[in-house]
């Protein structure tokens, strides 16, 4: 008789998947000074092979650093500029201050809209921001990567997810991409809320966690 399994993933829970001699930390976010980040650092100090690494997660969520690391790995990326005020339109804009997250991206197409967004992401000019020039026909697409695997994404995006996982080793991440025609460029990597996963994505993650996992509340 099948035992009814507890539904995972649960909000705010960090999961540790143990395979061979490695630990895989799975969480909605890996930001600096969070429980997952400290768990990774603690494991590294104790000599436990852990993915992602503390360096990987620090690099992943800072858009310019993320894109340069991806570029070195041969991943197609969006051209980016760091600015305090000027933005070339149309563009996708990301904040770079301590409280910003790549989940919050803003597509701006006119000066009035750009002015409001820049004021918001820079805290009225206190911090720089990152923008990426896009064309009028460009669109922004997102796709969740679970251990480098995707669901209901085209072949190009699936291939991109594999390369992103090989480079950053983050088990659960949202890929933000600029799409132009049939081409895709990585724009940013962002945290994933469990609640935003589709039914199929949640089941994929649940099946992985069912292998051998412990969780921290």
Within this chain, do residues 51 and 152 fall inside the same structural domain, yes or no? yes
pLDDT at position 8 is 63
Would 122 be classed as within a structural domain?
yes
Within this chain, do residues 88 and 142 fall inside the same structural domain, yes or no? no
Within this chain, do residues 22 and 56 fall inside the same structural domain, yes or no? yes
pTM summary value: 0.92
Where does a domain end: 114, 133, 152?
Answer: 133
Within this chain, do residues 151 and 194 fall inside the same structural domain, yes or no? yes
Within this chain, do residues 106 and 20 fall inside the same structural domain, yes or no? no
- pLDDT, mean of each 10-residue run, the chain (217 residues): 55 89 94 93 97 96 97 98 95 92 95 96 94 96 97 95 98 97 96 95 90 61
pLDDT at position 27 is 96
Nearest C-alpha neighbor of 107 from the set 192, 197, 190, 176: 176
> Domain span at residue 104?
81-133
Would 5 be classed as within a structural domain?
no
Would 151 be classed as within a structural domain?
yes
pLDDT at position 3 is 41
The dihedral of CA 169, 175, 176, 177: what is its sign? positive
Number of domains in the chain: 2
Within this chain, do residues 108 and 208 fall inside the same structural domain, yes or no? no
Within this chain, do residues 143 and 191 fall inside the same structural domain, yes or no? yes
Would 8 be classed as within a structural domain?
no
Within this chain, do residues 129 and 152 fall inside the same structural domain, yes or no? no
């Amino acid at each position: 008789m099948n035992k009814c399994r507890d539904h995972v993933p649960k909000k705010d829970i960090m999961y540790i998947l143990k395979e061979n001699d490695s630990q895989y930390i799975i969480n909605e976010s890996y930001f600096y000074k969070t429980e997952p980040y400290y768990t990774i650092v603690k494991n590294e100090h104790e000599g436990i092979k852990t993915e992602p690494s503390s360096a990987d997660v620090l690099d992943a969520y800072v858009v310019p650093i993320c894109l340069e690391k991806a570029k070195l790995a041969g991943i197609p990326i969006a051209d980016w500029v760091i600015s305090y005020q000027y933005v070339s339109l149309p563009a996708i804009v990301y904040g770079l201050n301590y409280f910003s997250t790549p989940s919050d991206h803003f597509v701006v197409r006119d000066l009035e809209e750009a002015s409001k967004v820049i004021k918001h992401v820079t805290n009225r000019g206190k911090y720089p921001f990152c923008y990426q020039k896009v064309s009028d026909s460009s669109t922004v697409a997102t796709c969740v990567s679970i251990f480098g695997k995707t669901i209901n994404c085209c072949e190009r995006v699936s291939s991109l997810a594999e390369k992103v996982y090989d480079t950053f080793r983050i088990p659960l991440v949202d890929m933000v991409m600029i799409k132009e025609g049939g081409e895709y460029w990585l724009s940013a990597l962002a945290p994933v809320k469990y609640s935003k996963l589709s039914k199929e994505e949640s089941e994929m993650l649940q099946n992985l966690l069912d292998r051998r996992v412990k969780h921290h509340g």
